[in-house]
């Protein structure tokens, strides 16, 4: 497959899949190869091979659902700040591995592309290597499927499937997240519904546990919460300042939901982030954290995450 010339479908009049090269100004560490999926209705998804990282999802009306920092690094040694980093086999600093594990800054391989009716689909894979085994001594196979699918009415959705397989002889355990950065117009006017009655761990309060008692979670300070079994229902993100920003999230297989925003002071400490951008983003993440997954030889796990306008 030629990364410079590959295209499937008709980008002008129908669904298509195209592999592109980002202008890297000849920087040796620059991330360059990305894939654009386009549906017949005009929804588009951008995915970089670096980390199999989704950086953009625009619906057929051109509405961008994801946040991407103006200062994001596009370097092979770094994760991209925004979109959907894949955190595996460790979420955050919840263990001995580097922050968010090993696959968010690793080049993935395109396994296959396809177009079914009006909708494109691409499958990425990542297998263990000497480099990954130097950090985490296990044999694995990851498969990540990115596709645009039909939603309610003409509102198409992005569907993400992560499959994990133990290819070695020894059992291993892992945690993970699809660390999704959503675009909002004003975080102070944004709310999240669908989590009432859920238990959450508040990392800003020494990991104390609370029950969410509000129909709508709002934001007035730094937020870092783990909703235990929070992924059992659909979750809605709404921004009162912009009626176009109303997102519906659906989870299958994922146990938890992480909600994160650095707020004013911590935003100043993030090197690949413009401090004022804290008010333009909210992370709501499909997560497997409070019960790590244990896989024995040959066993598999699958998680599904579907995103679209409500």
22-81 pLDDT, tens digit per residue, is: 876 657 788 889 999 999 999 999 999 999 999 999 999 999 999 999 999 999 889 999
What confidence tens digit (pLDDT) does each residue in 252-273 have?
999 999 999 999 999 999 999 9
How many residues can be counted in the chain?
310
Start-to-end C-alpha separation, the chain: 37
User: What residues of the chain score a pLDDT lower than 50?
Assistant: 1-3
Q: Is 149 exposed, middle or buried (0-12, 13-18, 19+ CB in 10 A)?
A: middle
pLDDT at 231: 83
Whether 179 is a known active-site residue: answer yes
Whether 208 is a known active-site residue: answer no
Check 147, 179, 183, 277 and give the catalytic one: 179
Cα 299 vs. chain centroid, distance in angstroms? 24
Check 156, 165, 277, 285 and give the catalytic one: 285
pLDDT at 25: 63
pLDDT at 260: 98
Helices (H), the chain: 130-135, 263-267
Q: Is 97 exposed, middle or buried (0-12, 13-18, 19+ CB in 10 A)?
A: middle
Structural domains of the chain sorted by starting position, each given as residue range(s) with its CATH number in brackets:
7-309 (2.70.98.10)
pLDDT at 2: 43
The torsion angles phi and psi of 9, rounded to 5 degrees, stand at 85, -170
């Amino acid at each position: 497959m030629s990364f410079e010339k590959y295209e499937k479908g008709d980008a002008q009049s129908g669904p298509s899949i195209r592999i592109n090269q980002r202008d890297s100004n000849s920087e040796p560490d620059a991330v360059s190869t990305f894939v654009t999926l386009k549906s017949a209705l005009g929804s588009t998804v951008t995915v970089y091979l670096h980390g199999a990282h989704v950086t953009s999802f625009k619906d057929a009306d051109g509405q961008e659902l994801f946040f991407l920092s103006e200062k994001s690094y596009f370097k092979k040694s770094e994760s991209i700040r925004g979109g959907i980093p894949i955190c595996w086999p460790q979420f955050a600093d919840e263990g001995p591995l580097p922050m968010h594990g090993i696959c968010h800054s690793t080049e993935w391989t395109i396994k296959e592309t396809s177009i079914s009716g009006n909708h494109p689909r691409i499958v990425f894979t990542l297998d263990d290597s000497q480099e990954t085994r130097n950090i985490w001594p296990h044999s694995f196979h990851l498969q990540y499927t990115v596709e645009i699918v039909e939603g309610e009415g003409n509102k198409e959705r992005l569907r993400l499937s992560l499959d994990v397989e133990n290819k070695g002889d020894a059992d291993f355990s892992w945690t993970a997240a699809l660390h999704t950065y959503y675009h909002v117009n004003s975080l102070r006017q944004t709310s999240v519904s669908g989590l009432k009655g859920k238990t959450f761990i508040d990392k800003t309060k020494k990991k104390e546990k609370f029950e969410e008692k509000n129909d709508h979670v709002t934001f007035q300070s730094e937020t870092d919460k783990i909703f235990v079994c929070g992924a059992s229902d659909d979750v809605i993100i709404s921004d009162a300042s912009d009626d176009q920003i109303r997102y519906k999230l659906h989870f299958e297989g994922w146990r938890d939901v992480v909600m994160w925003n650095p707020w004013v002071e911590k935003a100043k400490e993030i090197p690949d982030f413009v401090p004022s951008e804290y008010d333009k983003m909210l992370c709501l993440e499909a997560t497997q954290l409070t019960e790590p997954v244990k896989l024995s030889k040959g066993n598999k796990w699958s998680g599904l995450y579907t995103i679209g306008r409500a």
